[in-house]
Amino acid sequence: MNRLVIDAINKLESFMKTVDDATALPREAAEFVHALILAAPIRRAVEIGTSYGYSGLWIASALATRSGRLITIDHLQRKSDAARASFQAADLLEYVDLRIGTASEILRSINGPLDFVLNDADKDNCITYVDIVAPKLVDGGIILTDNTTTHARELAGFIDYMRRRHDFFTAILPVGNGMALSIKHARP
């Protein structure tokens, strides 16, 4: 990870302490996502929930090692603009496509194939988001859903749903805020 990226991450961590609307992956979860992308053959990634671009910096810096690309979605122009500035400072903008709008609408407009989706926006729509992206995901593709510990009640139905699907295997990871790691696979 180069100095520009590390500096942008550190600067954003400091900034996020000064605002009350910066809900981001905890650093250990962001490090896990970065490592996962380095380890798996992921090039085409989507993030639902850009916010200030914290997780996006970790994702895009891993994708940059193999010229991958991140499409990141948020409905708030203000946050997306701030995220763009961080990607620019980290010299990662060429690997990132920031889309502003309602996640379900933007997800429908994205063409597959996709290798990776970080599902980190509104918890009420997680099932909808999976239904939209699942057909676009390659076999072996990953949907990582944040907040399975911090929002256990809200996500209980989602986890049940993922476990009932025969085309995904879902493991719950006690990393950061808790994450559901769902791997798409061919039907047996």
49 binds ligand SAM (CB under 6 A): yes
Single out the residue of 139, 144, 167 nearest to residue 155, CA to CA: 144
Query: E strands of the chain, at which residues?
Result: 44-48, 69-74, 96-100, 114-119, 137-146, 168-173, 179-184
In whole angstroms, the minimum distance from the beta carbon of 153 to ligand SAM comes to 17
34 binds ligand SAM (CB under 6 A): no
Total residues contacting ligand SAM (rule CB under 6 A)? 17
Comparison of 83 and 134: residue with beta carbon closer to ligand SAM: 83
Comparison of 36 and 76: residue with beta carbon closer to ligand SAM: 76
Bridge-based pairing state of the strands 44-48 and 114-119? parallel
CB 133 within 8 A of CB 117: yes
24 binds ligand SAM (CB under 6 A): yes
Structure tokens at 26: 């905890």
In whole angstroms, the minimum distance from the beta carbon of 43 to ligand SAM comes to 20
Residues that bind ligand SAM (CB under 6 A): 23-25, 49, 51, 54-55, 73-76, 79, 102-103, 120-122
